[in-house]
Structure formats: C-alpha cells, structure tokens
Amino acid sequence: MAELVDHPCVQHKLAIIRDVDTGHKRFRELSTEITKFICYEALKNVRTKNVTVQTPVAEAKCRKIDTDLVVVPILRAGVGMLDGILELVPTARVGFVGLYRDEISKNPVTYYERFPPQIRGGTCIIIDPMLATGGSTVAAIDLLKENGANNIVVVCIVTCPEGIELVEATHPDVAVYAAAIDDHLNENKYIVPGLGDAGDRLYGTSH
C-alpha cells in the first residue's frame, strides 16, 4: 500500500526541494521539514494506551504511544531525514542499514547493519528520500524481518510506480508513505521528474 501525503504545506516544500537551484543547506532543512509531515501521517495508526493524567484543574483521560519506535535510515541519504522524525518522536531508537549496488548483478549488497533489540515487537520506520527501483528498500525490509521485526512502514519523499510495485509484490504488509509518486524511472534508474541524487544534494557532493 502506498499513501500520498498531499497536504498543501508538504507540496509547497516539495516544490522548493525539487528546484535545481536549491542549495544543500536548504535541501537538508526541507528534508527535515517534509519528513516530519510524512512521519506524522505514517504514525497515525500506531498503537496507543489509555492513561489518566492530573492537570492543574482535574484528571484528564489521555492516550500515549504504546510501542517502541525504531527509525532505520538507509545510508547515506536516509540520514538526512533522521532529524525530522526524531523531532517528532524524540524517544525513538535508531538502527542503520548500509547498502551498495553490485556492479555485475545490480543487486543491493549489505555492508552494514545495526539494529536495537526493540525492532522485535516495536514499530520500525525505514527512511530514504528516494524509493526508486525499490531494491534497497526491499533489502532493508528483508533484513529487519530476518532480525525479528514484524511491524514496518517506509517513509520517503519521492517514489514512483516501479518501486511501489516491487515493495507491494515482495512485502504486501508494509505501507509506503511519500510526498510524491512520480511518473517513472529513466534509463539510468533515476525518478522522473524526481529531485536528482538526494545524497549529493543533501551533503553538497554534487560535481
């Protein structure tokens, strides 16, 4: 399942982050801001529990989140979204997945993984600005499930039909939340119109 976060504030920021003239400082700021909006929507169904708190006036019936939240950025670009989620849920734990694409097989290869034990029974949020072919996202989901995770959502800024279809075909239980579902992938596997190489734009490493 893919869900488009079509809020006007998200779409306004998306227009700016797509712009080729937006520099890396502003790109990082916008990644944080957009991520916060998308994560807000992605966590709308997270498990809660009823609690009673004492206000200065009287007791109030309230709800609190009743699950461990674990954010898992896919290195390196996913780190650019991390602050946005941690501003929303500061108590979240963080795991990491490092992947690269094998030059011959074109398949994603894991070079780093580190997860807190709370992925078992908690809610895992995979973050990566671009869900393009879907290969890296599926590999990250595979790793989490192999380590005991059973409640996973994906938060990205921009995706496309090809990536969504792969995630849905391999992991139909995992929802994808995005600010944009773009048209297609080009011959170089870039999302069109997309926003370019998110990692380079985040960290100013573009040539």
The residues pairing with 97 across neighbouring beta strands, listed in sequence order, are 74, 113
Which CATH number does the domain housing residue 165 bear? 3.40.50.2020
Q: What is the pTM of this model?
A: 0.92
Residue 204 confidence (pLDDT) above 90: no
Say how many domains are in the chain: 1
Structure token pair of residue 178: 């995005």
Domain that holds residue 174: 2-203
Q: How far apart are CA 135 and CA 41, in angstroms?
A: 24
pLDDT for the residue numbered 155? 97
Instruction: State pLDDT tens for residues 156-185.
Output: 999 999 999 999 999 999 999 999 999 999
Most confident of 108-112, 151-155, 186-190: 151-155
CA 164, 10, 97, 101 torsion-angle sign: positive
Sequence-ordered alpha helix ranges (H) in 19-160: 24-42, 82-88, 135-146
DSSP state of 10: H
Residue 130 neighbours by CB distance under 10 Å: 26
Residue 207 confidence (pLDDT) above 80: no
Instruction: State pLDDT tens for residues 103-152.
Output: 777 678 899 999 999 999 999 999 999 999 999 999 999 999 999 999 99
The model's confidence at residue 102, banded by pLDDT at 50, 70 and 90, is: confident
